[in-house]
Amino acid sequence: MANYLVLSSSIVFFLFITFFSCPSNAADYNVLNSGAKPDGKSDSTQAFHKAWGSACNSTQTATIYVPRGRFLLKNVVFRGLYKSRIEFRINGTLVAPSDYRAIGDSSGYWILFVQVNSVSVIGRTLDAKGGAFWACLTSGKNCPVGARSITFNWANNILVSGLTPINRELSHIVINSKGDCNNVMIRNVKIIALDQSPNTDGIHVQLSIRVTISGNSIRTGDDHISIGPRTRNLWMEGIRCGPGHSVSLGSLAKELNEDGVQNITLTKSIFTGSDNGVSIKSWARPSKAFVRDISFQNILMRNVQNPIIIYQNYCPNNQGCPSQSSGVKISEVTYKNIHGTSATQVAVTFDCSPSNPCKGIRLQDIKLSYLNKPAQASCRHIGGTSTGVIVPQSCL
C-alpha cells in the first residue's frame, strides 16, 4: 500500500497550485465560455477557476459543464463556502501536463476539493499521464513525490459518479488525506492502471465517516481500495477487483497514536487474479490503533493468491519495528460466504500479533480450492469460531 504523506500546515501549501476560492446568477457554466480550449494543449486551468467562481456565487444549484474534448489542467484546488450545490459534469477528458514533474513536484495533488460541501463530480475521463512517472520510479532515479488524481479534504455530502481515472501517478481517488470527510458516495467508477504501476491505489479512504463505494471496477498496480486510520461506517458493495493487490485495511500502525478502523463492510464483490483478496495489514510495532466490527461477505475469488489474509508483521527491510510485534487490536471480524479459487496452496492466512492476538474472528460458509483440491489454512495468535461448510478446514 502506498504511504500517504500528511503535510504540515506550516508548509507553504501547494506552491505551484492555483487556488480556486469562491468570491458572490445563472446556474449553468460552460468552461468554454470561460476561455477553456478542448485541444489538450492549451492551459485551461484559469478558465476552470473562473467557472468555479461563478458557480460559487449562484443562489441555485449550479452546473459546471465540461463538453467533449481534452482540457489541459495543471494542479488545481477548488475550495470555498458557496450558496448552493455545485455539480461538475465532465463529458470530455481532463488531461494533466505531459511533463510529470509539472504536477508531481508540488503538493502531491492534481485535482483537490478542500473545505467544500454538497459537490458532485459526474462524468468521464481523468488522464493523469502517469506512464513517465512510473518509469522514473522503477529506474531508481530521483523522482518527484507524485500527484494523486482527485482528492477530497474536509468535504461533506460528496458524490463521485461515472468517472474513469487512468494513467495515475499515485492514487486515483482519495477520501481524504488531511481532514475529516462525511457522507461520501463513490459509484460506477472505472479505475484503470497497469498492474506494474507502483503505488497506484484505486480508492484510498481515511479520516472519514459514512463513505459508500458501490458498483466500481478497479484495475491497479496497488490496492484496489485502501482503508486508513479513523475510517468509520464504510460500506463497499459490487466491487470488481483485479489485477492489483487487495481491498486492504491498512497498513495500520504507521504511527503510535493512530486512531482505529470500525464498522467496515465489503459485500457482493469479485476478485480476479489479484495478489490478495480481503486483507488486514499492520506494521509490527507499537500502536494504539484497532480494527473491529468488520464484515467480508458474499465474495467470489478467482485465482487470487491470498484470498483471506491478516498480516500483522509488516516491516519492510526490518526497519522501524523495534518490538517486532503489532499493537493493533483486531477483533470481531466476520468472513461469510466466500467462495472460489486460490492461486496459492494456503488460501487463508491469519498471522496475528503475539502481543495482541486477534479475537472474535468468525468463519461461516467458506469454500476455497487450489488446483481443484481443498486449499489450506494457517493460523498464528488468533481465536474465533467456525460455522457451516469451511474449506479449507478451519485452523482457528
Q: With contact defined as beta carbons under 8 Å apart, do 287 and 322 qualify?
A: no
pLDDT exceeds cutoff 60 at 6: no
Amino acid at 354: P
Residue 321: predicted pLDDT: 86
DSSP calls for 89-135: EEEEEEE--SSTHHHHTTTSEEEEEEEEEEEEEEEEEEE---HHHHH
pLDDT exceeds cutoff 50 at 1: no
Q: With contact defined as beta carbons under 8 Å apart, do 124 and 88 qualify?
A: no
Cα separation, 193 vs 220, whole angstroms: 5
pLDDT exceeds cutoff 80 at 378: yes
Is residue 222 annotated as a catalytic residue, yes or no? yes
Cα separation, 179 vs 182, whole angstroms: 10
List CB contacts of 228: < 8 A, sequence separation 6 or more: 4, 204, 205, 206, 207, 250, 252, 261
Q: Which of 204, 245, 351, 381 is catalytic?
A: 245
Cα separation, 286 vs 257, whole angstroms: 9
pTM reported for the whole predicted model:
0.89
Q: Which of 222, 223, 275, 351 is catalytic?
A: 222
DSSP calls for 264-284: EEEEEEEEES-SEEEEEEEES
Instruction: Give the angle subtended at the CA of 65 by the CAs of 62 and 70, to the nearest 5°.
Output: 155
- By residue count, the chain amounts to 396
Query: What are the structural domains, with CATH classification, of the chain?
Result: 17-200 (2.160.20.10), 223-396 (2.160.20.10)
Pairing of strands 240-241, 261-272: parallel
Is residue 381 annotated as a catalytic residue, yes or no? no
Average confidence (pLDDT) over 86-101: 90
Tens digit of each residue's pLDDT (9 = 90 or more) over 300-346: 999 999 999 999 999 988 888 877 899 999 999 999 999 999 999 99
Residue 105: predicted pLDDT: 64
Tens digit of each residue's pLDDT (9 = 90 or more) over 338-359: 999 999 999 999 999 999 999 9
